[in-house]
Amino acid sequence: MQTKNKDKNRIYAKSVDDNGQKETLAEHTKHDIDVCRLLVQNLPFSPVKKKRILSDLILCVALHDIGKAATGFQTSLDTRRPWGHRHEVLSAAVAAYLGLSDAIVFTVLTHHKTIPSDGQVIYGCLERKEIPYHDKDLTKTYKEMAKQWNDNLPLLMEEWREICDYIGRPDLAKTLGLAQLSESITKWLQRWTQTKDFSYKEREYFSLLRGIMMSSDHIASAFLSQNGTTKNYLPRHIPRFSNYNVISYNPYGFQLGAAKARGNLILRAPTGSGKTEAALLWAMLNQGYNGRVFYVLPNQASINAMYLRLLDIFGKDYVGLLHSRTASVLYSMFESDSYKQDQRTAWGIASLVREMFYPIRVCTPHQILRYSLQGKGWEAILSEVQHSVFIFDEIHAYNPHLAGLTMATVRYLIAHKARVMFLTATLPTFLRWKIETEIPGIQFIEPSYNNPSDKKILEQKRHTIEPVDGDIMDNIDLIARQSANAKSTLVVCNHVTTAQEVYHKLKDKVKDTRLLHARFTRKDRNYKERELKTLPKILVATQVVEVSLDIDFEQGFTEPAPIDALVQRFGRINRKARLSNPAPVHIFTKQQRDVDKPYKRELCDLSVQTIGGLPSQVTEEELNQAADKVYGSGYSEEDEREYNTGLNYEKLKHFNKYLTAGTNQNWIDEVIDKQEGTREVLPEQLEPEYSSLRKVGKIIESNDLLVPVNSGIVAKLFKDNQIIVYKDRDIWILKDCRYSKEVGLELDGGHTSYIAI
């Protein structure tokens, strides 16, 4: 509940809307405490440990905003101008004055701002002028901050007594004087270091407390729109996933095997055979007390699809979507749904999913690495790993460095009582060996010829493979002619520019031809993907179709690619084996442009050659054997170095040694948000619409006009003066380009040796 009237006899914590509605300090703190209690209730720890955490956390929460009583901060809520000082300095001073533990004072002081990455100097999180002492004297700024706080002390005491009564600690409702406040925090700061003076267990506890404290505060501050009004959300309990029904048909043998596999697991099964159901059955068995589920997929499009799938099973209160464009995707889903939600709701849910809120989260591997590599907000996962299950889907698609970092992270997860599963349609034997080396005793399951239902999957012939000499541009007429023999045809290109050229050629011959690639605005791509609920006569696409969409074409044409990528493309053709005969899939022997990007030519040639040696009507087992043959020698020398660099990353390999509460590695966020080498740009012709949306506060809609472009292309465009950078708005505007809803962003041919998928 929020206070609507501006009562001058109250101390306020925050503004909650644009109409002057504010939340009092006691109101916000009490709601924060409610959230805190629920979060601790959901922790996967013993009752004794949870009792200690709750006792300390309630004090942290009770005190965290008490510094906002300063007159300058209260004025800032009315003027909407920042106070310019950090209220948590005063809050920590109160905690120190009350004689509370180092962990509590530390958590209160750092709940908004990190400390330097070496963790040695606690006051590194403060502005120098705010440090209570300098050369043993109180600074002028701190004296003024403390005086402003002391000036509101009579009003604050009323709020503080209400808070103390709420937590059952009336003994803390003392009169707080200015002299004691300054002296206490000065002494505390002067003696503080971290990695030198505190053990790993103590630093871990500081991190744990800080992570839950920050999640409590963020969740308590998240207002979601409901029928024109706003309300706070509270965390849900952690359900037993075994109470849900995830499979509506008689399970296959390999699915039953997964449902009985207690412990870490590798599962290999064909695309479209029910791998996801098998993974969820495994998760149900392996979820421990208050354990979470993290479903990890290699790209945003596949995550969005999986999110919707899990919503149907577990419901919107339990499933969260986590990647760098969460708010945009949710807002788009709201628009297309039968009910209307607003931008505030999308931002609110997007913020909650980064906290300890949803027991099931669908995310990219980079979001898991954000925690293990100590990126922003990493402390929260310390309280969520134990008894949780992590499903890594399609790990074969990871680049070697990412695979190495992921395996190093998996070692950490298992050491902290989590269980992991690797799920894939094609897993080369060498990669399986690497996983088994790092996770001794991990089980392996795949469909078996000894099981009648599995045998049917393995012997199923969904495709007839037909190599075609030449490149795709040489065979436009062939594609157009063959499209007459099927209701739907998928054409997959390796470059965006190739896809655009093929689309123009085919559109002239077959009217019902559509185009899909990653170089559309988010708004247009969302529309195009929704439109695919009804398949066109021809869809021309890039790799975005490989693991993103649950679509089922009757035939296909593809440029050469590594065998695992080809198998994924095949999986979008005759996906459910509904056709009476195997679907024809044509593989061109040559790539239309830049034969060494995005894949190495030797790998593509070997893949096409190996598949060409299979029977024309190929089984799933024969495709697996072909993948093993292609990757028989493992990574190349360069890729092996990249894998080992990730696997042996020092701060991850020795996580306990480097754990430092209150720090984060800024470069992690930069790497994650760049989405593995892409940069979002704004086509110049969309700038007026972008600016108009910004002016009326439609931030999500404006961001949906940005287009992801490969960083290599952006670098060339920048060098050629085609990029205008507006740093005040943090957008890059691309000049001299063409953009349309039909074709997407078209770039000069000189830049087509790169790809954005």
496-520 residue pLDDT tens: 999 999 999 999 999 999 999 989 9
Q: Is residue 55 part of a domain?
A: yes
Query: Would you state the pLDDT for residue 488?
Result: 96
Tens of pLDDT along 715-737? 778 777 777 776 445 688 888 88
Does 210 lie in the same domain as 266? no
Instruction: Please give the Cα distance from 358 to 523 (Å, whole number).
Output: 26
Residue with tokens 């790990």: 395
Q: Is residue 4 part of a domain?
A: no
Does 306 lie in the same domain as 182? no
- The string of DSSP codes covering 642-655 is HHHHHHT-HHHHTH
Q: Which of 412, 431, 454 is the last residue of a domain?
A: 454
Query: Would you state the pLDDT for residue 754?
Result: 33
Query: Would you state the pLDDT for residue 472?
Result: 95
Quick one: pLDDT band at residue 479, thresholds 50, 70, 90? very high
Nearest to 725 by CA among 676, 669, 677, 684: 684
Query: Would you state the pLDDT for residue 135?
Result: 47
Query: Would you state the pLDDT for residue 481?
Result: 95
Does 390 lie in the same domain as 509? no
- The string of DSSP codes covering 685-737 is GGHHHHHHHHHTT-HHHHHTT-EEEEHHHHHHHHHTT-EEEETTTTEEEEPS-
Backbone angles phi, psi at 389, to 5 degrees: -120, 140
Find all residues with CB under 8 Å of 82, minimum gap 6, and list them.
76
Nearest to 390 by CA among 302, 272, 297, 503: 297
Instruction: Please give the Cα distance from 463 to 458 (Å, whole number).
Output: 13
Is residue 553's pLDDT more than 80?
yes
Q: Which of 618, 637, 654 is the last residue of a domain?
A: 618
Is residue 121's pLDDT more than 70?
no
Query: Would you state the pLDDT for residue 666?
Result: 66
CB 112 within 8 A of CB 86: yes
Residue with tokens 């002492």: 133
Query: Would you state the pLDDT for residue 594?
Result: 73
Instruction: Please give the Cα distance from 263 to 21 (Å, whole number).
Output: 51
Amino acid at 664: N
Least confident among 320-334, 454-468, 654-668: 320-334
Find all residues with CB under 8 Å of 734, minimum gap 6, and list them.
681, 682, 683, 684, 707, 709, 717, 722, 723, 724, 745
Q: Is residue 648 part of a domain?
A: no
Does 499 lie in the same domain as 391? no
Query: Would you state the pLDDT for residue 675?
Result: 43
Instruction: Please give the Cα distance from 467 to 14 (Å, whole number).
Output: 65
Count how many Cα atoms sit within 13 Å of the Cα of residue 172 in the half-sphere of its side chain: 23
Does 306 lie in the same domain as 193? no
Q: Is residue 742 part of a domain?
A: yes
Share of residues in the chain with pLDDT > 70 (%) = 82
Number of domains into which the chain is organized = 4
Quick one: pLDDT band at residue 757, thresholds 50, 70, 90? very low
Of residues 355 and 527, the one with the higher pLDDT is 527
Q: Specify the pairing of strand 731-734 against strand 723-726.
A: antiparallel
CB 116 within 8 A of CB 128: no
Does 439 lie in the same domain as 468? no
Backbone angles phi, psi at 344, to 5 degrees: -60, -40
CB 539 within 8 A of CB 516: yes
Is residue 3's pLDDT more than 50?
no
Is residue 335's pLDDT more than 60?
no
Q: Which of 575, 602, 618 is the last residue of a domain?
A: 618
Query: Would you state the pLDDT for residue 383?
Result: 87
Quick one: pLDDT band at residue 711, thresholds 50, 70, 90? confident
Instruction: Please give the Cα distance from 748 to 235 (Å, whole number).
Output: 50
Three-state secondary-structure class, residue 229: strand
CB 397 within 8 A of CB 566: no
Does 178 lie in the same domain as 296? no
Quick one: pLDDT band at residue 236, thresholds 50, 70, 90? confident
Query: Would you state the pLDDT for residue 337?
Result: 47
Of residues 679 and 407, the one with the higher pLDDT is 407
Burial environment of residue 595 by CB neighbours within 10 A (0 to 12, 13 to 18, 19 or more):
middle
CATH number of the domain enclosing 339: 3.40.50.300
**Enclosing domain of residue 710:** 677-751
Mean pLDDT of the chain: 83
Query: Would you state the pLDDT for residue 345?
Result: 56
Does 449 lie in the same domain as 465? no
Q: Is residue 553 part of a domain?
A: yes
Q: What is the CA radius of gyration of the chain?
A: 28
Q: Is residue 339 part of a domain?
A: yes
Tens of pLDDT along 152-211? 998 999 999 999 999 999 888 876 665 555 555 665 565 556 667 778 898 899 999 998
Query: Would you state the pLDDT for residue 262?
Result: 97
Does 149 lie in the same domain as 194? yes
Least confident among 116-125, 522-531, 639-648: 116-125
Tens of pLDDT along 660-686? 888 877 655 555 544 446 778 899 899
Torsion of CA 599, 600, 602, 605, to 10 degrees: 20
Query: Would you state the pLDDT for residue 30?
Result: 93
Instruction: Please give the Cα distance from 601 to 560 (Å, whole number).
Output: 9
- What is the mean pLDDT of the segment spanning 607-631? 89
Q: Specify the pairing of strand 489-492 against strand 555-558.
A: parallel
Question: How distant, in Å, are the alpha carbons of 302, 470, 506, 570 from that of 587?
Answer: 24, 10, 18, 10
- What is the mean pLDDT of the segment spanning 358-372? 85
Residue with tokens 């929704």: 530
Query: Would you state the pLDDT for residue 227?
Result: 45
Nearest to 390 by CA among 313, 293, 257, 310: 293
Q: Is residue 704 part of a domain?
A: yes
CATH number of the domain enclosing 145: 1.10.3210
Is residue 344's pLDDT more than 90?
no
Q: Is residue 647 part of a domain?
A: no
Tens of pLDDT along 306-320? 888 898 899 888 888
Query: What own/partner pairs with CB < 8 Å and gap ≥ 24 does 702-706 have?
Result: 703/328, 703/522, 704/328, 704/331, 704/332, 704/521, 704/522, 704/523, 704/526, 705/521, 705/522, 705/523, 706/521, 706/522, 706/680, 706/681, 706/682, 706/731
Does 65 lie in the same domain as 144? yes
Query: Would you state the pLDDT for residue 492?
Result: 96
CA 543 to chain CA mean position, Å: 20
CB 552 within 8 A of CB 523: no
Least confident among 7-21, 129-143, 698-712: 129-143
Query: Would you state the pLDDT for residue 726?
Result: 64
CA 118 to chain CA mean position, Å: 27
Does 469 lie in the same domain as 422? no
Tens of pLDDT along 290-301? 999 999 988 777
Does 439 lie in the same domain as 469? no
Q: Specify the pairing of strand 583-588 against strand 319-322.
A: unpaired
Name the DSSP letter for residue 237.
P
Instruction: Please give the Cα distance from 219 to 35 (Å, whole number).
Output: 7
Instruction: Please give the Cα distance from 235 to 128 (Å, whole number).
Output: 37
